[in-house]
Amino acid sequence: MRFLARLGVERDDLPSLWGLLDGPTASQVVRTLARSSCWGWADVADRWESADERLRRRLWRLLSSRGGWDEVRAHLLAAADPRVAALGRSGLDSWVLHRASRMYRWPTPEQRAHIVALLETADIPTSQQERIHFGVGLD
């Protein structure tokens, strides 16, 4: 894994790495993938529904590593899942305190629509909902 991390992950490497997310090298795989730009939101988020709690924690770490509005989506996705909701809420707490004021770009239409949908199911405080509404231009 260290060799691949140094060499750089390419899109062709992804199928073999997805399987390693559930093994003893999972932490290394998450760190390696988090530093790579060869995967997109859908590559990871599509695995969410079939994942157990342990894998969802790893997927959340990956998705939130993308930063920006994808980070917000990752936290909301987790906050909507009773098994990992605490991760999502704490991630949003951190985002509101440290990164929300530095969101200089609007979310893409896809990100915005997904955030709006996730806000309906996420178990988060009203203050966080209001901050996200403001950030995506709903208020």
Residue 87 CA to residue 93 CA, distance in Å, equals 10
State the pLDDT at residue 3.
53
Label residues 73-92 b or e (16+ Cβ within 10 Å = b).
bbbbbbbbbeebeebbbebb
Q: For residue 62, give both structure tokens.
A: 């990956």
Residue 56 CA to residue 46 CA, distance in Å, equals 11
Instruction: Say which DSSP state 76 is in.
Output: H
State the pLDDT at residue 2.
57
Which parts of the chain have pLDDT scores under 70?
Answer: 1-7, 139
State the pLDDT at residue 1.
53
State the pLDDT at residue 138.
78
Residue 58 CA to residue 94 CA, distance in Å, equals 18
